[in-house]
Amino acid sequence: MTQAKIGDTVKVHYTGTFDDGIQFDSSIGQDPLLVNIGCGETIPGFEKGLEGMGIGDKKTISIPAVDAYGEHNPELIHEVPRADIPEEIDLQVGLELTAQGPDGNTHILSIKEVNEETVTVDANHPMVGKNLNFELEMVDIAPQK
């Protein structure tokens, strides 16, 4: 039986939950996720969990925060002058904004605090610091050529 390894392209169904059992994502009822193992297209712990699986195999993996979206980084919290944010945006704590960084990449910023002069935003990923659990089912494996 062929087992998935680095360099293979696989199709996998998954259901992701937090440690408290709350589901945050699933491919069930949709097309399976296509992953090129070892290319860094998904979080490291997810790709590592696919290695060694054969078609039809099912398993559950737990990924610690450090191998998922990492730990909270206080350097990603910034105060922005309120005047730099378009007036039409109703600034409220918890609102997520999209911003383009100097590198040209798009970043999601979560508003943490609003006052008369500044808005405090957090650029950490929303799932930073969280352990993730996945139920996996290997659907197909296309070995590396």
What's 36's domain CATH number? 3.10.50.40
Q: Mark whether 18 and 89 lie in a shared domain.
A: no
Q: Mark whether 91 and 112 lie in a shared domain.
A: yes
Q: Mark whether 13 and 82 lie in a shared domain.
A: no
CA 84-72-135 angle, 5° bins? 120
Identify the pLDDT of residue 50: 97
**pLDDT grade for 107, boundaries at 50, 70 and 90:** confident
Tell me: pLDDT of 143 over 80.
no
Q: Mark whether 25 and 48 lie in a shared domain.
A: yes
pTM for this one?
A: 0.80
- Domain residues for 36? 9-69+127-142
Judge whether 24 lies within some domain: yes
- Enumerate the β-bridge partners of residue 107: 99
Tell me: pLDDT of 100 over 90.
no
Q: Mark whether 42 and 56 lie in a shared domain.
A: yes
Q: Mark whether 86 and 110 lie in a shared domain.
A: yes
Output the six-digit token pair for 22.
Answer: 């709350």
Domain count, the chain: 2
Q: Mark whether 55 and 28 lie in a shared domain.
A: yes
Judge whether 65 lies within some domain: yes
What is the domain-level CATH number for residue 82?
A: 2.40.10.330
Sign of the dihedral defined by the CA atoms of residues 24, 19, 111, 79, in that order: negative
DSSP 69: T
Q: Mark whether 132 and 114 lie in a shared domain.
A: no
Tell me: pLDDT of 145 over 70.
no
98-128 CB burial, b ≥16 within 10 A, e <16: eeeeeeeeeeebbbeebeeebbbbbbbbebb
Judge whether 2 lies within some domain: no
Judge whether 61 lies within some domain: yes
Judge whether 3 lies within some domain: no
Q: Mark whether 82 and 56 lie in a shared domain.
A: no
Neighbours of 36 (CB within 10 A): 16
